[in-house]
Amino acid sequence: MIAFGPVPSRRLGFSIGINHIPPKHCSYSCVYCQVGRTDHLIIKPKEFLSVKEIVLSVEQKIIETQNKGQPIDYLSFVPDGEPTLDAHLGEEIEALKSFGYPIAVISNATLIDQAEIRQILNKANWVSIKIDSVQEEIWRKINRPNRRLNLEIILKGMLDFAREYSGELVTESMLIEGINDDEVSNIRLAEFLWKLKPQKSYLAIPIRPPAENRVFPPDSLTLQKIKQIISSSVPSTICLFDAEEDQFIATGEITKDILSITSVHPIREAALRKMLSKSGVDWNVVEKLVSEKRLIKQVHQNIVFYRRNPDHI
């Protein structure tokens, strides 16, 4: 279940997700991560899956999706961790291009100071980089990086990448109440984005259950102010403040589809019910997965979510 979806999103339309990193290998352990805390806080790329396994899984998902008459806008690397930690990412992007769909990579950009990582990302058509804060103390609080990472070096790497990259570069910043939602933090972020000049800047809030319970979104007045500050640097600043997941589509075996999507993307109960009803499948399937402990039911801000149990892969 490497390839999953198609997943609907405002950024990429309908994309087939590629989960090529086992949980949970990342260079960050963000307080808001919807995949939970990082067990393997690494910064050296490793071999996880073979290129062949990934290509076959994506090919099968493309065929299933096409057979259902569903659109595919992107093939996107959006794993249970940081995509550039996969030592074969460059070969995978090259191989997947043969399917004729644009390739997207959602990265935390922690390795972007390395020329070879920038060359790999340059192969993708669309790259999103994470910038939650440009201030050391706040960066440590939110992203909880591997101790060998250095924020100044990462920010310089981002600027180098922005100069070299020929595809569509966007940024994503997660806003957390009481941590990075103050005026000064966002003015500093806006100053950096002014230099970076991404095509778009996305502002997000923790909608799905975060790794740490104490994580909440800022109030709506604060969010409006932040949007004003950021859009003074990046005219195309887009807020991702609502759930955008009502159109999940099952393409193959329903149990596999539920588990592969919820592995990287916890789903609200309402969206899951819609997905099952479109496929003519009874809710008992979900109850069975919960009773088998393969799916976890979680309540976040009074909304019920379902996510795959990472201890039951």
Please report whether residue 33 would count as binding ligand SF4 according to CB under 6 A. Answer: yes
Please report whether residue 28 would count as binding ligand SF4 according to CB under 6 A. Answer: yes
Using a CB cutoff of 8 Å and minimum separation of 24, what contacts does 245-248 make? 245/7, 245/8, 245/271, 246/8, 246/270, 246/271, 246/274, 247/8, 247/14, 247/274, 248/5, 248/7, 248/8, 248/272, 248/274, 248/275
Please report whether residue 77 would count as binding ligand SF4 according to CB under 6 A. Answer: no
Please report whether residue 38 would count as binding ligand SF4 according to CB under 6 A. Answer: yes
Q: How far is the CB of 149 from ligand SF4 (least distance, A)?
A: 11
Q: How far is the CB of 188 from ligand SF4 (least distance, A)?
A: 20
Please report whether residue 127 would count as binding ligand SF4 according to CB under 6 A. Answer: no
Please report whether residue 108 would count as binding ligand SF4 according to CB under 6 A. Answer: yes
Q: How far is the CB of 81 from ligand SF4 (least distance, A)?
A: 5
Angle of helix 254-264 versus helix 284-291 axis, rounded to 10: 60
Asked if 61 contacts 20 with a C-beta cutoff of 8 angstroms, the reply is: no
* Selected binder of ligand SF4 within 15, 19, 29, 185 (CB under 6 A): 29
Please report whether residue 57 would count as binding ligand SF4 according to CB under 6 A. Answer: no
Of 108 and 171, CB closest to ligand SF4 = 108
Asked if 167 contacts 127 with a C-beta cutoff of 8 angstroms, the reply is: yes
Angle of helix 89-96 versus helix 51-67 axis, rounded to 10: 30
Q: Per CB under 6 A, which region of 24-32, 238-246, 269-277, 296-304 contacts ligand SF4?
A: 24-32
Residues 6+ apart with CB under 8 A from 4: 16, 17, 19, 61, 257, 260, 261, 263, 264
Please report whether residue 128 would count as binding ligand SF4 according to CB under 6 A. Answer: no
Residues recorded for the chain: 313
Please report whether residue 239 would count as binding ligand SF4 according to CB under 6 A. Answer: no
Of 33 and 170, CB closest to ligand SF4 = 33
Nearest CA to 172 out of 144, 143, 211, 150 is that of 143
Please report whether residue 26 would count as binding ligand SF4 according to CB under 6 A. Answer: yes
Q: How far is the CB of 38 from ligand SF4 (least distance, A)?
A: 5
Of 26 and 117, CB closest to ligand SF4 = 26
Give dist(CA 128, CA 195) in Å, integer: 16
Binding positions for ligand SF4, rule: CB under 6 A: 26, 28-30, 33, 35, 38, 81-82, 108
